[in-house]
Amino acid sequence: MLTFLLLQADTSAIMGQVFLFGAIILIMYFFMIRPQQQKQKETKNFLEAVKKGDPVVTIGGLHGKVHSVEADTLTIELDRGLKVTIEKTAVSLDYTKRATGK
């Protein structure tokens, strides 16, 4: 009888630990992983939707307007006649939102 009670106590303690571990994983998913995935998706959609004439800010801090869009590159016009070709991944969604107020 005593061994049965000890076995039952061990089982409930293990189940409690499994529940706690599962809860920690679930909390990490909703507070760390999921928001990062949503941000990556939003950035990807932004980069795909960039078109000629859109104001952009690069991760290096350059402000300009898109002059032309190619497969993986953008040509941005920084000033009249000054054009720079950059990778699309060099455009920052956060900086662009702050600069344009959108």
Name the pTM for this structure.
0.71
Write down the pLDDT at residue 101. 82
Residue 99 in this model has a pLDDT that exceeds 60 = yes
Cβ atoms < 10 Å from Cβ of 99: 14
Residue 97 has pLDDT above 60, yes or no: yes
pLDDT reported for residue 5: 46
Cβ count within 10 A of residue 55: 13
Q: What is the pLDDT of residues 43-96, one digit of tens each?
A: 999 999 999 999 999 999 999 999 999 989 999 999 998 999 999 999 999 999
Give the model's pLDDT for residue 12: 76
pLDDT tens figures, 1-40: 445 544 565 677 788 888 999 999 999 999 999 999 999 9
Supply the pLDDT for residue 7. 52
Please state, in angstroms and rounded to a whole number, the distance separating the CA atoms of residues 32 and 6.
39
